[in-house]
Amino acid sequence: MKHLDSFNFKNKKVLIRVDFNVPLDKEMNITDKTRILAAKPTILKVLKDGGAVILMTHLGRPKGEKVDSLSLERIAGPLSDALGIVVQCSTDVVGEDAQTKAKNLAMGNVLMLQNLRFREEEEKGDVDFAEQLASLGDFYINDAFGTAHRNHASTAVIAQFFDKEHKAFGYLMDKELKAIDTVLNTGEKPVLAILGGSKVSSKITIIDNILPAIDKLIIGGGMMFTFIKAQGGQIGGSIVEDDKLDLALEILEQAKKHNVEVHLPVDVLAADDFNNGAKTQIVDVDKIPDGWQGLDIGPESIEKFKEVILSSKTILWNGPVGVFEFENFAKGTKELGVAIDEATRAGAFSLVGGGDSVAAVKQFGFEHKMSYVSTGGGAMLESLEGVKLPGVAAMEA
């Protein structure tokens, strides 16, 4: 598929699928504009060429009903500020107002269609609805990596109504796909994957898919206790998936077959309760007393993992290694971030993805110190699992 830069959009009305499903607080104010800013370069490319932009996105889960609190008018203001031009918003998705405003849209201007999920046809992947969307523009750009794993009308169905000369990935989508390809296929060795989070079961398909591509694997977070217990360790009251002990041993066996070094923590910061003010002690990871639970990796583990990180050239980080939401159990995750930052400055490629690890990176100020921080949690995880995303496959057809 042609790169976006190979097209000129002069006098073209360009439909761009963006992901402006931004987090909102209780007063429905935007709390993080990352996704809006991430789409800005693609929008500006069309405008600078002399084209007009028609944006499509969803917000929240209105489930096919018009919910005033999820109207995209609340996005139009911050987007207007980011672009430096007034963004108009239609009152419907493909109805009379959207059609009239799209038809009358002057070059150099931006129209945002109303929340796609106000229409149930969007999530159903309805072909007629997708065709109605397609009729509003001359060209289609998919820049919504965060929804590329959904078989929805605006992401996976609409592309069939544009030939290869009239559709392309946006800059953000292109960056996301290249970052994942670097980890799985083209990255400089040694390749390291750091997997955290609470459950082995949620990461098993990722592990299966990446083992042939990586050289080292660090396992942290709650999922590490399933591995420790499977090997006969005492984990006290730590989180564990007792029905996945055999699976953990199988993963370790598969890693051996692929010559992947597996690094598990050797010590933990244990607590007598699951709260920030709990009593703590440093103990060996396989000798946690009853009534205590591991909530972060310990100092020896931090030093061990730092060495592994600094000796790697390509790094994938998916999941925190402790309960970083509690300040007293955030050190392990924070120190890993410091080490990945140092490795990145020394020339390594680092990709951070998955909701919790992205939240941690933002919380500790590492967002601009990694090579790439993914904007799409679910889509990135499915890519790492080896799934061909519907929104990507549709563009390549």
What sign results for the dihedral spanned by CA atoms 78, 72, 152, 132?
negative
Catalytic residues: 35, 199, 355, 378
Residue positions forming the annotated binding site for substrate = 19-21, 35, 58-61, 117, 150
Scanning the chain, the segments in alpha helix (DSSP H) are: 34-49, 73-83, 96-103, 120-124, 127-134, 171-181, 204-210, 224-230, 245-257, 299-310, 331-345, 355-363, 377-384, 390-396
CA–CA gap between residue 80 and residue 111 (Å, rounded): 11
Integer CA distances (angstroms), 94 to 71, 119, 209, 249, 350, in order? 15, 9, 40, 53, 41
Give the residue numbers of the binding site.
19-21, 35, 58-61, 117, 150, 203, 294, 325, 354-357
**34 within 8 A of 51, measured Cβ to Cβ:** no
Separation of alpha carbons 396 and 2, rounded Å: 10
DSSP code of residue 186: I
Taking residue 325's Cβ as centre, other Cβ atoms within 10 Å add up to 14
Known binding residues for ATP are: 203, 294, 325, 354-357
Count of residues in the chain: 397
| Tokens, residue 240 | 């564990």
Residues of each annotated binding site for (2R)-3-phosphoglycerate: 35, 117, 150
